[in-house]
Amino acid sequence: MSDEAIAVFQVEARENLELIEQGLLDLLDRPEDRDLVDAVFRGLHTLKGSGAMFGFDALAGFTHHCETAFDRVRKGEVAATTDLVSAVLAARDHMRRLMEDPSGDHGAAGDVLLADLERAVREADAAAPASAPGAATWRIRFDLPSNAFKNGTNPLALLAEIRELGEARIVVDTSRVPPLGQIEPTDHHLAWDVVLTTDQGRAAIEDVFIFVMDDMNLRIETLEDGEPIEAAVETPVSVETPAPAQAAAPVEGRTPVANDPAEAPGAKAKVAESVRVPADRLDELMDRVGELVIAQSRLSQISNSGTDTALRAVSEEIERLSGELRDTMMVLRMVPVATLFGRFRRLVHDLARETGKAIELSTDGETTEIDKTVIERLADPLVHLIRNAADHGLETAEDRAAAGKPATGRIRLSAHQSGGEVVITIRDDGRGIDRDRVRAKAEAQGLIEPSDVLSDHDLLQMIFHPGFSTAAAVTNLSGRGVGMDVVKRTIESLRGSIDIASRPGEGSEVSLRIPLTLAIIDGLLVRVGQGRYVIPLGAVEECLELSLDEDLRSRGRSFISLRNSLVPFLRLREMFDTGTPPELHQKVVVVSTGEERIGLVVDQIIGDHQTVIKSMSKLHAGLPTFSGATILGDGSVALILDVGHLVALGQQQEARMREAV
User: Is residue 392 annotated as part of the catalytic site, yes or no?
Assistant: no
CA distances 58 to 9, 95, 104, 106, 107, Å, are 15, 9, 10, 9, 9
Tell me if residue 541 is catalytic.
Answer: no
Q: Which residue among the candidates 21, 65, 67, 654 is catalytic per the annotation?
A: 67
Catalytic pick among 16, 45, 421, 645 = 45
How far apart are alpha carbons 342 and 498 in whole angstroms? Answer: 22
What sign does the CA torsion over 117, 118, 120, 126 have? positive
- For residues 124 and 84, the answer to whether their CB atoms sit within 8 Å is yes
How far, in Å, CA of 591 to CA of 593, rounded? 7
For residues 366 and 415, the answer to whether their CB atoms sit within 8 Å is yes
> Under DSSP, is residue 631 helix (H, G, I), strand (E, B) or coil?
strand
What is the distance between the alpha carbons of residues 435 and 444, in angstroms, rounded to a whole number? 14
Tell me how long the chain is: 661
Mode of pairing for the β-strands spanning 359-364 and 507-515: unpaired
Sign of CA dihedral 441, 444, 447, 449: positive
Instruction: Name residue 157's amino acid.
Output: A
C-alpha closest to that of 138 among 214, 207, 200, 190: 200
Q: 143 φ, ψ to 5°?
A: -140, 160
419 by Cβ neighbours in 10 Å (0-12 / 13-18 / 19+) ranks as middle
In whole angstroms, what is the distance from residue 635 CA to residue 186 CA? 57
- Catalytic residue of the set 188, 189, 388, 421: 388
Q: Provide the 10 A C-beta neighbour count for residue 51.
A: 25
Q: Is 388 noted as a catalytic residue in this protein?
A: yes
392 half-sphere exposure, CB direction, 13 A CA radius:
20
85 CB-contact burial (10 Å; exposed 0-12 / middle 13-18 / buried 19+): buried
Judge whether 409 and 430 are in contact, CB under 8 Å. Answer: yes
**d(C-alpha 188, C-alpha 637), whole Å:** 60
Q: Which residues are catalytic?
A: 45, 67, 388
